[in-house]
Amino acid sequence: MGAPITIFRLFRLQPCGRELLVRVERPAASNADQGALDGADRFANVAAEGLLDQWQRHLRPACAHPHTSSVVAEMQEDPVGDDLFGPGRRALAVWVAQTEYGAPWTVLGTAASEAEFWQQVRLDDDLLRLGPLAPAEPHEVDFLTDTDLSPLTLP
Ligand SMILES: [Zn+2]
């Protein structure tokens, strides 16, 4: 049985450039069962898309123009800092570093400075295995988690 995976996914809206970071749980699924793995992926994707829809509805009064969205970063490891383990529904400043595996794979997290971010990354073998590349870029994001899904958008 594969363990559940915590997924961090960063969406960017165009044309305004607003960004939403979501944390969703991909349920455990048997590695020997492709159907179960696909189902677990679908479950996580539906939750992430549900949060994106919910956030866009919330933005509408201030940001009424039509948006297109894209995934600009994703990480399936524990991030730097404690903030992203905590509750959602808040604005956060996060550092995002590209990796040698290419887009959208990134290493991200919260830290007081870029130097502190890299200090934390260097102490974490799981993050180093992702092949992070300097520099890390600062992003101002809205943060939501799957526990913030309104009943209307629950998968
Ligand atoms: Zn907008």
Q: What is the pLDDT of residue 2?
A: 80
The rounded Å distance from CA 74 to ligand 1 centre is: 21
The rounded Å distance from CA 69 to ligand 1 centre is: 10
Residue that has been written with the tokens 């960017």 in this structure: 12
The rounded Å distance from CA 10 to ligand 1 centre is: 16
The rounded Å distance from CA 21 to ligand 1 centre is: 15
The rounded Å distance from CA 103 to ligand 1 centre is: 23
- Which residues, by Cβ under 5 Å, contact ligand 1, an ion? 16, 63
The rounded Å distance from CA 79 to ligand 1 centre is: 27
Q: What is the full per-residue pLDDT of the chain (155 aa) written as tens digits?
A: 688 999 999 999 999 999 999 999 999 999 899 999 999 999 999 999 999 999 999 999 889 899 999 999 999 999 999 999 999 999 999 999 999 999 999 999 999 999 999 999 999 999 999 999 999 999 999 999 999 987 765 55
The rounded Å distance from CA 31 to ligand 1 centre is: 40
The rounded Å distance from CA 19 to ligand 1 centre is: 10
The rounded Å distance from CA 63 to ligand 1 centre is: 4
67 φ, ψ to 5°?
-115, 150
114: exposed, middle or buried (Cβ count in 10 Å: 0-12, 13-18, 19+) = middle
Q: What is the pLDDT of residue 153?
A: 54
In angstroms, the CA 88 to CA 91 distance is 8
Q: What is the pTM of this model?
A: 0.94
